[in-house]
Every structure is written in structure tokens, then in C-alpha cells.
Amino acid sequence: MKIAVASDHGGYELKEEIVKYLKEKGYDFIDFGCFSPESVDYPVMAAKACRAIQKGECDRGIICCGTGLGISMAANKFKGIRAAACSDYYSAKYTRLHNDANILSLGGRVLGPGLAIEMVEVFLNTEYLGGRHQRRVDMITAIENGEFPED
Ligand code: RB5
């Protein structure tokens, strides 16, 4: 599994902690930046991670901004991306089990590195359950493709 990592300036410090952790644990990842605390627009950084996943260069993504929200909103506009903005461990785990999320989005101004890294770890090591959840994930894809029927 290859991981795309990206952040804006608000998530930069947390992203650096995550990169250090991924390196230490021997994960295969690409760090798309940013590479300094200088201001950068979060949609630009979301695009880098999302395009790597769309092209099949990466399988999962970890993205960070100040809240984890703006960058996840931008990421979720890319086809095939299911980005979960999480601030707790349970959500980071269940968004893999139930939603087959391929991106975890974290807030550098919300989370400390200890919790964030536990969330990264569970996100990367939890398999999607499929089964009854697949129908709902397929509905998300149908919405994305403009194929969701009106009732
Ligand atoms: C940047 O100041 C901040 O708006 C951004 O990091 C993020 O929190 C947006 O949702």
C-alpha cells in the first residue's frame, strides 16, 4: 500500500509528525508537501493527493489542514475519493470499516500528534467490511456520477 500525504500550512506541523512516523514504521508514502509553514491554498494540496490516488500511484491518503475540513471538502470533489474528516479514533476506524474511505483528513489545529498518529495507524490497518455497506458506498458513487435516482 502506498500512501499520499499532503497538507496546507495549517496542517504542516502535524503532517511533518505523520511523515516522521510513517518513515520510522517503514510505510511506503509520497509527501506532496507543503514543505514549510508558508501559506498555501488547501484545494491545491488536496488535488496533489487525490490525483495520485486517481492515477493509481497511491492507494490511500492522509491530508491535513487547520481543521481537516476545508481540505476534505476539496478532496471529496474528486471522483473516486472518499475523504473522511475525523477528530476521533472511532471515526477513523469506522470510516474504513463502513465507508471504505480512501483518505483520512486531520486538523493540525484540532488534534495533538499522539491521537492523530493512532488515528493514522488504525486508518491504514483496518480493512473495509464490504457486504451490506457496499450498497451505500455504491450510492455515493452514483451521486458522484449524477446517476442517483430521484424518489
Ligand atoms: C488556513 O488558515 C485554514 O483555513 C485551513 O488550514 C483549513 O483549516 C481550512 O479548512
Percent residues over pLDDT 70 in the chain? 100
Torsions phi, psi for 42 (to 5 deg): -65, -30
Cα of 17 vs centre of ligand 1, distance in Å, is: 18
Q: How far apart are CA 45 and CA 65, in angstroms?
A: 9
Answer for the pair 9, 38: CB distance below 8 angstroms, yes or no.
Answer: yes
Rounded to 10°, the helix 113-124/12-24 angle is 50
pLDDT at 151 over 90: no
Torsions phi, psi for 31 (to 5 deg): -95, 110
Cα of 40 vs centre of ligand 1, distance in Å, is: 10
86 an active-site residue?
no
The runs of H, that is alpha helices, within the chain are 12-24, 42-54, 70-75, 89-97, 113-124, 132-144
98 an active-site residue?
yes
Question: Does the structural domain 2-144 have CATH classification 3.90.79.10?
Answer: no
pLDDT tens digits along 92-105: 999 999 999 999 99
Closest atom of ligand 1 to CA, residue 73? 10
Cα of 66 vs centre of ligand 1, distance in Å, is: 4
Q: How far apart are CA 15 and CA 23, in angstroms?
A: 12
Residue 116 is which amino acid?
Answer: A
Spot the catalytic one: 34, 50, 58, 65: 65
Which of 7, 8, 14, 109 is the pocket-test mutation for ligand 1 (most atoms within 8 Å of CB)?
Answer: 8
Cα of 12 vs centre of ligand 1, distance in Å, is: 11
For the chain, first and last CA: distance in Å? 39
pLDDT tens digits along 29-46: 999 999 999 999 999 999
- Asked if residue 69 has its Cβ within 6 Å of ligand 1, the reply is yes
Predicted model pTM: 0.98
For the segment 112-119, the average pLDDT, to the nearest whole number, is 98
pLDDT tens digits along 68-79: 999 999 999 999
